[in-house]
């Protein structure tokens, strides 16, 4: 029982560490993608504005 409890605790700690690493990776990745998408959207902002004006005109 004692050994099982210890192993369970170790496994829990490992899974927590993995989850933290995964979350950090995800946040870093999302920040990077958001920056890229913002850059792209800034470049294509005038195109989007034209498209929106066309859509509003058509609708």
- 1 confidence band (pLDDT: 50, 70, 90): very low
The answer to whether 41 and 48 are in contact (CB under 8 A) is yes
pLDDT tens digits for 21-56?
Answer: 677 676 666 766 777 776 766 666 666 677 677 667
Cα–Cα distance measured from residue 36 to residue 31, given in angstroms and rounded to the nearest whole number? 9
What is residue 5's predicted lDDT score, i.e. its pLDDT?
Answer: 67
CA diameter of the chain: 73
HEC secondary structure over the chain:
CHHHHHHHHHHHHHHHHHHHHHHHHHHHHHHHHHHHHHHHHHHCHHHHHHHHHHHHHHC
């Amino acid at each position: 029982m004692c050994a099982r409890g210890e192993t369970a605790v170790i496994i829990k700690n490992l899974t927590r560490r993995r989850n933290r690493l995964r979350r950090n990776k995800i946040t870093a990745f999302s920040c990077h993608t958001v920056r890229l998408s913002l850059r792209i959207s800034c470049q294509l902002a005038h195109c989007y504005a034209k498209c929106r004006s066309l859509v509003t005109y058509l609708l």
